[in-house]
Chain A
Amino acid sequence: MKLLSLSQATLSTKLLNFSIFAQLNLMSMDFLIANEVEKKYGSFVALDKLNLNVPQNSIFGLLGPNGAGKTTFIRIVNQITAPDSGGILIDGKKLSQIHINEIGYLPEERGLYKKMKVGEQALYLSRLKGLSRNDAYKQLKYWFEKFEIAAWWDKKVEELSKGMQQKIQFIITVLHKPKLLIFDEPFSGFDPINTNQLKQEILKLRYEGATILFSTHNMSSVEEICDYIALINRAKKVLDGNINEIRNRYASGIYEFTYKGYFHKLAATLTPSYEILETSEVDGISNIKIRLLDKSISENELIQRMLEYGSVQSFSLVKPSMNDIFIRVVGESQKSDNI
C-alpha cells in the first residue's frame, strides 16, 4: 500500500514536470498567424497586408477604432469572408473547413431566434458546431446549472432580458470547447456582477488551454485580462506586443511615490529636470507624482537623492493606461496618414 502510494507520487511528479514542459513548449508557439492578409471592398481597403501572431494559450486583445478592420479580420478567421490575398495559419495548419468546429465566435452584433425555446436553440446551435445531441445536452446541463439558469430551458428567448440572452450566447459560444475563442465586445450589455463572472470564465477557459482573441473598446478590461494586444487603425497594424512591455515602452518618466521628509529640499536638488504633476500632504506624508524631464537621471539616482532628505514609503513607475496609449497611437497614425 505504501509502495503504491510512493510510486503514485513519483508518477504524478513526472506528469507535473511533463505538463510544465508541454506548457512551456506550447507557450513559445503561435496558435494563430495572419500573414499579409488583405481585403478590399471595391476601392475601400478593409485590411492592408495585416500580419498578426497570436501566441498559444494567451488572451490577445484586438484593438482599434470603429471601422479599423477588426470585424473584417474576425470574419476572415471565421471563414465568413475570404481574404483577397494572404493566408491564415491555425495551429500550424492552413485555415480550412476543419477549423470551423474548433472556433467559438461571439460576434458584436449578436442575437437568437426570438420565438425559439432557449434549450432547443442552444442544442441546435451547438450541434451546428459539430457536437452530438447527447454531448451538447450534457454540456448545456452543466453550464445551465453553473450559471443557475436551468429554469430558462423551456422559455422563449423573447421572454428573457437582454443580459440573460447574452449569457446564453456566451454559453453557446464556449460549449463545444473550441481551441480558439473569439469574443467581440463580450461585456457590452452586462451589469458589473455579470461582467465579473464572465471575466472569471474567460480566464478559466484560457487556463484550460484555449487561445482567446478579444476585441473591445473597453480599455480597462484589456489591461485586466489581456496578455498581448494588437492595435489596428485604418486597415493597418500600428502597434503590437506583450501588454506589459508596451505599457513600459510608453511609460514617459512619470513616478509616483509616498514620501516622509522635506520634499521642498528634494525638489530643489532636482531642479530643473522635473515637473511636478500632483502633490498632496497628510500628516507629514506626501503623495507626489512627478515627471522627469532629464532622462539621464536613473531611478536609483532618484531614490538616492530622496533618501538624503527623508524616507521613501512607496515608489513606482507610472505606466500609461491602455486608454492613453490607444489615443496617442491612433492620433499619431492619423496625423502621419494625413501628411
Chain B
Amino acid sequence: MSKIGLIIQREYSTRVKKKSFIIMTILGPILFAAIMIAPALLAQLEDDELKTVAVIDDSYAFAPVVGEDGKVFHQVLKDTKYIKFDYLIGYDLDSAKKQLNGSKYYALLYIPHNIVNVGTGNAQLFSYQQPNMALKMHIANCMEKHLEDIKLHKKGEELGISQQSIQEIIRVVNSNVEILTYKMEEDGKETKSSTEISMVLGYIAGFLIYMFVFMYGSQVMRGVIEEKTSRIIEVIVSSVKPFQLMMGKIIGVALVGLTQFMLWVVLTFGLVTVAQAILVDDVKMSQMASPAGDITGNTLTSSDQITDEKAEEFVEVFSSIKTINFPLIIGMFLFYFLGGYLLYAAMFAAIGAAVDNETDTQQFMLPITGPLVLSIIIMVSAISNPNGSLAYWFSLIPFTSPIIMMVRLPFEVPIQDVIISMSLLVVTFIFMVWLAAKIYRTGILMYGKKVSYRELWKWLRHKS
C-alpha cells in the first residue's frame, strides 16, 4: 500500500472506531426521524387516556337526546375513544367546582344560558391540568356544529325552507381550495412540485454542509495539533512528505464524514419508512374500531380523525418528496460537501500546524468562522428568494457557495450558474491546499513560538 494510503487508512479506522462516532451515527438518524414523525406520533400519544368531562349546561341546549328506555339516542357532545361526557343535572357551577377536585372528572365544562340567543359566546372549561388542544377543539367543534344546526333550523323555519334543502345547500357550497404548484420544463413536461418541500430540503442540505465542514474540519485541526504536541510528527515526516501526511489526514477524515452521512441517510430513511408503516396501520385500525362515522358524516370532529388528517398529510408529504430529483440533489450535496470541506479543512490543517495547542487557535479562526457564519445568515434570505442577486452571487463565491448553492438547488438553478460555481470551488480548494501545505510544512516543526499572521505570511514565501 502506498504511504498516503496507509495514512488515510489510519485516520479513517481510528476515527470510526471511536465511541463518539458510533454514538453520533446512531443518535443522528433517531433525531432526524423523530423530527419527521413527531407531530403525527404526538397527536396519537396525547389521547391514550380516557378523560371524563362533567357538563353543566344552563342553556339546556346541549342535553343528550334520551329515548324512553333511558338509552342515549343522540349526543350533541359526542363521546370519543378518549373523551366521555357526563351531563349533570341539578348542579350549580359553584358547588360543582368545589367537588371537582378528587372526583372522577378530568374537567368541568360550563355552558352559560345565553349562548344560543347571543349566537356566539364563551363556554368555560375548569380543570386542574391544562387541557390539551384536542379536547378543546373537540368541544368547540361539537358546540359550533350544534349552534349552527339550531340557527339553520330556526332560519329554515322562518324562511320556510325544508331541513333537507338546507343540508343540500350546505353540501353544495362547501368549498376547499388548495394551491398545487407545477414546474414547467422546456419540452412542455410538467411536474408537480412543492415549494415547502424545496425550502425544507434546501435548508437541511445547507445546514448539514455547515455542520459537516465545522465538525470534520476541526477534527483535522485537532489531529494536526495532536501530532504536534505528542511530538510524533518528526518521526512521521522522516518517513513521508508533510504534504502526504496533510492530505492523508484530510482525505481520511473526509471519508469518515461521508461514511457518517451515508449511514445517516440510510438509517433515517429506514426508520421513517418503518415508522410511517406503523403509523398508517394504526390510524386505519382506530378508524375501524371507533364509531366516528356518525349520521351526518360530513364533519371531522373526533380526535381520531384529527390524527387521521395528520397521517394523510404525512403521506402527502411523502408523495411530494418523491417528485424531487434526489440523485441530483445527493450528488450535488456530495460534491459541495467535499469541495467545501476540502477548502476549509486545508485552512483548519494550516491553523493546527501554526499553533502549539487548541487555545491558541482562536486568533486564526476568523477566516473560517466568518464566511461560514455569513453563509448561514445569507441562507435565510436565499431560501425566500433563491434566484435573487444575493443568492446568485454568494452561490458563486467559493467560500459560501457550498451552503448557498445547496439552498438554491432544490428550486432548479440555471446550469451555467452551477458549472461556474463548481469550477470556482475546485480551483479555490486546489489553491487553498497548496497554500495550506506551505504553512503546514513549516509549522509542524515549529515549537514554542507565538505565531502571528505576519509570521504566516513569511512561511508562505519560504522556498521549499
Contact = CB atoms under 8 A, between A and B. Distances in A.
User: Do A and B belong to a common assembly?
Assistant: yes
Interface of A: 42, 75, 78-82, 100, 103, 105-107, 109-116, 124-125, 127-129, 169, 172
B232 A78 contact: no
6 contacts: A106-B235, A112-B230, A113-B230, A128-B3, A169-B235, A172-B235
A127 B1 contact: yes
Contact of A113 (B3, B6, B232, B238): B232
A13 B70 CA distance: 126
Contacts, number: 59
Contacts of A110: 231-232, 234-235
Contacts of B232: 110-113
A103 B6 contact: no
Main secondary structure of the interface of B (DSSP, over half): helix
B235 A103 contact: no
Contacts of B230: 111-114
B231 A78 contact: no
B234 A80 contact: yes
- Most interface-central of B3, B10, B240 (chain A CB within 10 A): B10
Contacts of A82: 464
Given A113-B226, A128-B6, A80 B237 contact: yes
Contacts of A107: 231, 234-235, 238
A86 B15 CA distance: 43
Contacts of B236: 125, 128
B1 A103 contact: no
A100 B239 contact: yes
Contacts of A81: 445
B14 interface: yes
Contacts of A112: 230, 232
Interface in B201-248: 226-227, 230-232, 234-240
Contacts of A79: 238
Contacts of A75: 445
Nearest to A107: B234
A111 B1 contact: no
Contacts of B6: 124, 127-128
Nearest to B229: A111
Contact of B239 (A109, A113, A129, A169): A129
Contacts of B237: 78, 80
A107 B231 CA distance: 9
Contacts of A172: 235
B238 A125 contact: no
A80 B445 CA distance: 9
Contact of A116 (B3, B14, B231, B235): B14
Given A112-B230, A113-B230, A116-B14, A125 B1 contact: no
A80 B231 contact: no
Interface residues of B, number: 22
Interface in B1-27: 1, 3, 6-7, 10, 14
Nearest to B240: A128
B238 A100 contact: yes
Nearest to A42: B458
A125 B239 contact: yes
Tell me which of B3, B447, B464 has the highest count of chain A C-beta atoms within 10 A of its own C-beta.
B3
Q: What 7 A-B pairs have minimum CB-CB distances, sorted nearest first?
A: A111-B231, A111-B230, A128-B239, A78-B238, A107-B234, A105-B238, A109-B231
Query: Which of B230, B231, B464: most chain A CB closer than 10 A?
Result: B230
A169 B227 CA distance: 15
Interface of B: 1, 3, 6-7, 10, 14, 226-227, 230-232, 234-240, 445, 447, 458, 464
A127 B239 CA distance: 9
Nearest to A111: B231
Contacts of B239: 100, 125, 128-129
B235 A124 contact: no
Contact of B238 (A80, A109, A115, A116): A80
Contacts of A105: 234-235, 238
A110 B229 CA distance: 10
A42 B464 CA distance: 13
Contact of B10 (A42, A78, A124): A124
Contacts of B227: 113
Contacts of A128: 3, 6-7, 236, 239-240
Contact of A125 (B14, B234, B235, B464): B235
A100 B235 CA distance: 12
Contacts of A109: 231, 234, 447
Contacts of A78: 237-238
A49 to B, nearest CB: 19
A75 B458 CA distance: 21
B242 to A, nearest CB: 8
Contacts of B1: 127
Contacts of B231: 107, 109-111
Which of A81, A111, A125: most chain B CB closer than 10 A?
Answer: A111
Nearest to B444: A80
Contacts of A100: 238-239
A114 B235 CA distance: 14
A106 B240 CA distance: 15
Contacts of A111: 230-232
B235 A115 contact: no
Nearest to A115: B14
A119 to B, nearest CB: 13
A65 to B, nearest CB: 19
Contacts of A116: 14
Contacts of B14: 113, 115-116
A172 B236 CA distance: 11
A227 B217 CA distance: 50
Contacts of A169: 235
Contacts of A106: 235
A109 B234 CA distance: 8
A111 B240 CA distance: 17
Nearest to A41: B462
A109 B230 CA distance: 9
A45 B232 CA distance: 27
Nearest to B228: A111
A112 B464 CA distance: 27
Contacts of B226: 113-114
A139 B240 CA distance: 21
Nearest to A108: B234
B417 to A, nearest CB: 44
B14 to A, nearest CB: 7
B21 to A, nearest CB: 13
| Most chain B CB neighbours (cut-off 10 Å) among A81, A106, A113, A128 | A128
Contacts of B10: 124
